Amino acid sequence: MGSTERFDAVDIIRIKRDGGQWEDSHIAWVVDAYTRGVVSEEQMAALAMAIFLRGMSRREVASWTEAMIASGTTLDLGALPRPTVDKHSTGGVGDKITLALGPLVASFGVAVPQLSGRGLGHTGGTLDKLESIPGWSPELSAPRMRAILGEVGAVVAAASADLAPADRKLYALRDVTGTVDSIPLIASSIMSKKIAEGTSGLVLDVKVGSGAFMRSLDEARELARTMVDIGADAGVATRALLTNMDVPLGRTIGNALEVREAVEVLGGGGPSDVRELTCALARAMLEIAGLPDAEVEEALDDGRAMDTWRRMVRAQGGDPDAPLPTARHTHQVRAQREGYVDTLDALALGVGSWRLGAGRARKEDAVQAAAGIELHVEHGQRVTPGQPLLTLHTDTPERMDRALEAVLPGLGIGPKQPPARTLIYETIDAHPGA
């Protein structure tokens, strides 16, 4: 009996392998057939490699993203009484920006529908961070999420398995076939999940540097442009900021440690880089939501953002006044010589924090809420011998040596003050239509 399928996977693989362009109907079919199990893992592996080597046109990427969204359910936020804007970060070390940003933007009457994941590898996940707050839970039904968005404005929920299931399947395959770092595949993967979440505006924080997916500004620019164009083609107002990830953000890495720092920012304090980036992203989100003159610093300084944070934590079962967990063991790293801190490498510190127990190697692993690294100095700061540079925190002291092996090569003290680093490189807005 002949197949009732519209196309043959091998024909579709050949088109891309030979440098041709797919029709939208090819893309819709192959993504759907892969989700149904009709296109095999081997065939999709060959196809992902063909995309990795040949790329996709703007139209193909838009169509691929649309097909991934159509593979699952989407959230309908149309009935909310507030405009919706979300933020996505491509992932960095010490990146706790989401925690303060959602409540800050929501304090201006805008809804921020964050669907987040758990961390894998050296960058932490927002859910892992918030789960260090006693009682807090990201498991919310769609109606409950909508209710919190309507009442509080900010919410952080776990993405359900039926949101862009084609991406979930494909991401696992890319991970084992050397096809993760393809710009069209990364861009469509991220944007399919964000568009399926139902937001009408989106700000992307595309990280550049040693602790980021994208190591060079040129690569980050291309990823940002691809994502911004996907957003525009799907009718979601999208803007990207390219930001520095050579050194960690702020003074803490690790779940509870990062929550503590985010709460400092919500109270009008905290490290200047975390505050500056939070405010820049908030301004971009509020501009997209039609509030270009919002005074975001004031909302941090006068308690409005903190008030929204407390309501958000309570709405999700958490106690904003409960003490955060602290680690059973700490170890301090001190300066060996006098000079300027000229290296504070994000990747080394991210891997160190992960080895202390703050991150997971496999999806199933648990994380330690209290594990991580506290930085006592900033990049460029002058230090004297014996001055504390870092404190490592863990509940499992047998992890300390392996963490130090990762961290120590990432610390450098030199005779000259290094140039001040740029935090925000540039902003990217959409090109007109495909």
DSSP 317-336: T--TTSPPP--SEEEEEE-S
C-alpha 160/C-alpha 115 separation (Å) is 9
Catalytic residue among 16, 87, 88, 239: 88
Q: What would the two tokens of residue 318 be? A: 């958490």
Known catalytic residue: 416? no
Contact code string over 385-424 relative to ligand URA, x by CB under 6 A: ----------------------------------------
Compare residues 115 and 370 and give the one whose CB is closer to ligand URA: 115
Stretch that binds ligand URA, among 42-50, 182-190, 233-241, 349-357 (CB under 6 A): 182-190
Q: Shortest approach of ligand URA to residue 190 CB, angstroms?
A: 5
Per-residue CA distances from 169 to 8, 35, 190 (Å):
20, 8, 14
Exposure on the CB side of residue 386, measured as CA atoms within 13 A: 0
Spatial contact of 202 and 110, defined as CB atoms under 8 Å apart: no
Known catalytic residue: 174? yes
Residues 112-171 binding ligand URA (CB under 6 A) are 171
Compare residues 7 and 171 and give the one whose CB is closer to ligand URA: 171
Spatial contact of 68 and 197, defined as CB atoms under 8 Å apart: no
DSSP code at position 135: T
Closest residue to ligand URA: CB criterion: 189
C-alpha 109/C-alpha 242 separation (Å) is 26
Compare residues 159 and 280 and give the one whose CB is closer to ligand URA: 159
Known catalytic residue: 88? yes
Give the distance from CA 229 to its chain's centroid: 19
Q: What would the two tokens of residue 202 be? A: 């989106």
Compare residues 185 and 230 and give the one whose CB is closer to ligand URA: 185
User: Could you give the angle at the alpha carbon of 153 between the alpha carbons of 148 and 157, nearest 5°?
Assistant: 55
Stretch that binds ligand URA, among 14-22, 58-66, 183-191, 237-245 (CB under 6 A): 183-191
189 near ligand URA, judged by CB under 6 A: yes
CB-count burial class (<10 Å; 0-12, 13-18, 19+) for 421: middle
Compare residues 190 and 195 and give the one whose CB is closer to ligand URA: 190
Known catalytic residue: 189? yes
Strand partners, 67: none
186 near ligand URA, judged by CB under 6 A: yes
3-state secondary structure (DSSP) of residue 120: strand
Spatial contact of 353 and 252, defined as CB atoms under 8 Å apart: no
Q: Shortest approach of ligand URA to residue 185 CB, angstroms?
A: 6
Q: Shortest approach of ligand URA to residue 186 CB, angstroms?
A: 4
Contact code string over 162-181 relative to ligand URA, x by CB under 6 A: ---------x----------
DSSP code at position 84: B
Q: Shortest approach of ligand URA to residue 363 CB, angstroms?
A: 14
Q: Which of 69, 190, 237, 400 binds ligand URA (CB under 6 A)?
A: 190
Q: Shortest approach of ligand URA to residue 62 CB, angstroms?
A: 16
- What are the residues binding ligand URA (CB under 6 A)? 171, 185-186, 189-190
Residues designated as active site: 88, 167, 174, 189, 193
